[in-house]
Structure 1
Amino acid sequence: MPDLTLRKQALLTEEIFHEFGPPASVPLRRVAMVSVIENPFAGRYEPDIAPFMDTLKPLGEAMARRMLDALGGDPAQVQGYGKGAIVGAAGELEHGALWHVPGGWAMREVLGDAMAIVPSTKKVGGPGTRLDVPITHVNASYVRSHFDAMEVGLTDAPRAAELALILVMTTGPRIHARVGGLAAADIEGRDGLR
């Protein structure tokens, strides 16, 4: 199994106070973390890449803990999450899929009781590529107020033989969310959907 070689990390935070309406009583806080690592499969086809997911798990957990700390340290404050990966041009899209399990596992591990699947996206791109990372509620994917995305990217990553691995956490719904659907207060908490 290849080793993990980390080049850089970035922790990005946002506070949203309003969206052209009255200021929210509590601002929405969003945090994203990007880890740029060497892609051990760049430039070649490797049939058995799945074992590398185990190598990525400690990185995912460390990222999730740093993000939680940036949001104040209380898992109960985190209401939304998502993940994504940008694969450098010498890699293939499937290399980004390696982040599905370790990225989602890490946030659920750190948050304790999150039930919803962690939404994800990935793409191949070069330095400066941006990714709209999808976000849903941590316990029920059908809570429309928490359908969101955070655009994430770094000016110098990923290089051709790198992966940019991304996690996102949020503290609430979109500011002024008002399109109906299942409310967070009405989550049944049985299946990660409702």
Structure 2
Amino acid sequence: MSKLELRKQVLAIEEIFHEGGPVVEVPHMRGAAFAIIKNPFAGRYEADIQGFMDDLRPLGLQLAQKLAYALGGADKIEGYGKASLVGAAGELEHGALWHAPGGYAMREVLKGTKAIVPSAKKVGGMGARIDVPITHINASYVRSHFDSMEIGVNDAPRADEMLLALVMSTGPRIHSRSGGLEASDIKGEDGLK
């Protein structure tokens, strides 16, 4: 039986037309889909917590599908990341349970990604925010896609809750010009280059 108790979901989409330079015709899009759930381990130490990852898998898939659709479809996604924000009665390890359900859900929806899904996690009070790292879906060394998206919500996480997030983007940062490996030069062999 699932231990998942969902309080709310949030979908946030940014359309970025410029960062101080010329306005682009097609905006760079960055989005987050996240859920606020009850932390079933809040307020106590529990030695065996891995089973909860199975309860999180359907949520990960739902969020990944919703986010890819909102950004124009899975074929438009070039960057991704994930994060968890644990309420004060929980512990960092509870947020670590999101690694596999969140990451593998995006891989399933985006089909064939090679790069590791970057992540962040922390414990914070109500209204806390977290920066979710973003890298290219097939090569972590593609510098133009190094990015992040700050997320949070004013009434979460409550002490006995967790915020679980997925983030995707449709391309490089607007006006990227920092050099390094270009997306067009990806070899796609190891998830790095």
- The two structures have a TM-score, normalised by structure 1, of 0.97
Shift in Å, 1:71 = 1.1
Q: Is the 8 A contact 1:134 1:149 kept in 2?
A: yes
What corresponds to 1:46 in structure 2?
46
- Residue of structure 1 equivalent to 2:67: 67
Say what the alpha-carbon RMSD is for the aligned residues: 0.9
1:31–1:169 Cα contact (<8 Å) kept: yes
Q: Aligned partners of 2:90, 2:112: CA distance in 1, in Å?
A: 34
Residue 138 (structure 1) aligns with: 137
Given that 1:133 and 1:168 are in contact with CA atoms closer than 8 Å, whether structure 2 keeps it comes out as yes
Deviations 1:1-54 (A, max 9, x none): 751000000000100000111112421101101100000000000111111111
Q: Give the C-alpha shift of residue 158 in structure 1.
A: 0.4
Q: What runs of 5+ residues in structure 1 fail to find an aligned partner?
A: none
Quick check: 1:86–1:124 contact (8 Å CA) kept in 2?
A: yes
Distance 1:66 1:59, change over 3 A: same
Does residue 1:80 correspond to 2:101, yes or no? no
Structure 2 match to 1:123? 122
Mapping for residues 1-194 of structure 1, pairs under 5 Å:
3-73=3-73, 75-194=74-193
Q: Is the 8 A contact 1:131 1:153 kept in 2?
A: yes
- Matched residues, number: 193
Identical positions, percent? 66
Point out 4+ residue stretches in structure 1 off by more than 4 angstroms.
Answer: none
Give TM-score scaled by structure 2 length: 0.98
* In 2, Cα distance between equivalents of 1:34 and 1:157: 11
**Segment drifting more, 83-92 vs 47-56:** 47-56
Query: Residues 120 and 133 of structure 1 are in contact (CA less than 8 Å); yes or no, is this contact kept in structure 2?
Result: yes
| Post-superposition CA distance 1:84-136 (Å, at most 9, x none) | 00000000011010001110000000001111100000110111101000000
The one-letter code matched in structure 2 to 1:150 is M
